[in-house]
A = this chain, B = another copy of it.
């Protein structure tokens, strides 16, 4: 059973003191219904992608489903750290493929900034292995700094390469009205920012944010009735890797990303060179460089050169994160997977305006959870 995206909605990412978490969800949910031309009664179920512990509200899907008007239809939440809403997308996709539902809304939503920075840090500092690692101060920037340092050591990747990723993503983010940061950042500024976890500085790190993005999926038959331009989900690959970096074979690759992408390529019957446009998980600039290599867009170790040659700009070999990426859009963790998917659907529909990849037919989304303990790779086709 083929499954398509028939409706999309994307809220403004950033500090959203104007909205509760359920209000954040409603904004793109309504937009997605309008986009699909559907009434609320047409939706058979919702799947909520979010990391629940960053909210004051517990039992999040209950309050979201009530507020957006989806009672008494089934709902629950999926969590896979920063890939939570890719897990939700996969769940809805499987539900439709299994014949359990015809039309399902996937709601990626996260309100992080109602917590104070110390509260957030106390939670995020325990996304690594609590028993063996967190006690040593392995926060997210710390982990990704290890990856960056090792990549520099092994492959000669330069500090400039990291900043070049940041420059690109802010360049495109400046053209994305939903992005948290809509300003270009020159290379000198990106290079000169204050250090967070050496070698990663402020402009190498994405920002915590509030936000939501919604997809409506439908079965083959329903999709063709609902939409003149359904975008097909050709494949969703997923894999896991050890939480503990001590158990990783190396620090220059996210093994779950390699595995998930190979799985997705196989399902879809395509390879890296067939991909016209990609959104990858740039929680830190080094993560985007690893993604180029893990996904097979360039050779292992050549990621620095790949951005230096502007191969991931519009007009390059494969445009990556031309929506601004996590870096410029902000990273409301549970909403990031659906945000990437919404942007990819726009690209394949030809609706990305100044950021459009001309004639894009096949798009890829790479969404990593935590420090690589999960990865989901989704391939879309118009």
Chain-B contact segment, one of A63-71, A309-317, A347-355: A63-71
**A53, B56: Cβ atoms closer than 8 Å:** no
1/0 contact string of A51-67 vs chain B (CB within 8 Å): 11100111111110110
**A72, B255: Cβ atoms closer than 8 Å:** yes
1/0 contact string of A338-382 vs chain B (CB within 8 Å): 000000000000000000000000000000011001100000000
Sorted nearest first, the 9 A-B pairs with minimum C-beta distance are A62-B373, A97-B98, A76-B80, A76-B87, A53-B53, A98-B98, A74-B238, A62-B243, A77-B79
| Interface membership of A127, Cβ < 8 A | yes
Distance, CA A374 to CA B90, complexed state (A): 21
- What is the distance, in angstroms, from A251's C-beta to the closest C-beta of chain B? 16
Distance, CA A345 to CA B84, complexed state (A): 31
| Interface membership of A195, Cβ < 8 A | no
1/0 contact string of A206-243 vs chain B (CB within 8 Å): 00000000000000000000000000000000111111
Residues of B close to A131: CB separation below 8 A? 20, 57, 63
**A72, B124: Cβ atoms closer than 8 Å:** no
Query: In the complex, how many residues of chain A place their beta carbon closer than 8 angstroms to a beta carbon of chain B?
Result: 61
Distance, CA A299 to CA B99, complexed state (A): 33
Distance, CA A83 to CA B77, complexed state (A): 11
Once A52-B52, A76-B87, A77-B79 are accepted as A-B contacts, the answer to whether A373 and B58 lie under 8 Å apart by CB is no
Distance, CA A20 to CA B130, complexed state (A): 10
**A63, B243: Cβ atoms closer than 8 Å:** yes
| Interface membership of A75, Cβ < 8 A | yes
- What is the distance, in angstroms, from A141's C-beta to the closest C-beta of chain B? 16
- What is the distance, in angstroms, from A46's C-beta to the closest C-beta of chain B? 8
- What is the distance, in angstroms, from A76's C-beta to the closest C-beta of chain B? 4
Distance, CA A70 to CA B240, complexed state (A): 8
Chain B residue with Cβ nearest A63: B243
- What is the distance, in angstroms, from A17's C-beta to the closest C-beta of chain B? 15
Distance, CA A99 to CA B236, complexed state (A): 13
Chain B residue with Cβ nearest A50: B79
30 contacts between A and B (CB under 8 A): A20-B131, A56-B126, A57-B131, A58-B81, A58-B123, A58-B126, A58-B130, A59-B80, A59-B81, A59-B373, A60-B79, A61-B80, A61-B240, A61-B373, A62-B81, A62-B373, A65-B240, A66-B129, A71-B240, A72-B240, A72-B241, A72-B259, A74-B240, A76-B83, A76-B84, A76-B238, A91-B91, A93-B98, A94-B94, A97-B97
**A243, B66: Cβ atoms closer than 8 Å:** yes
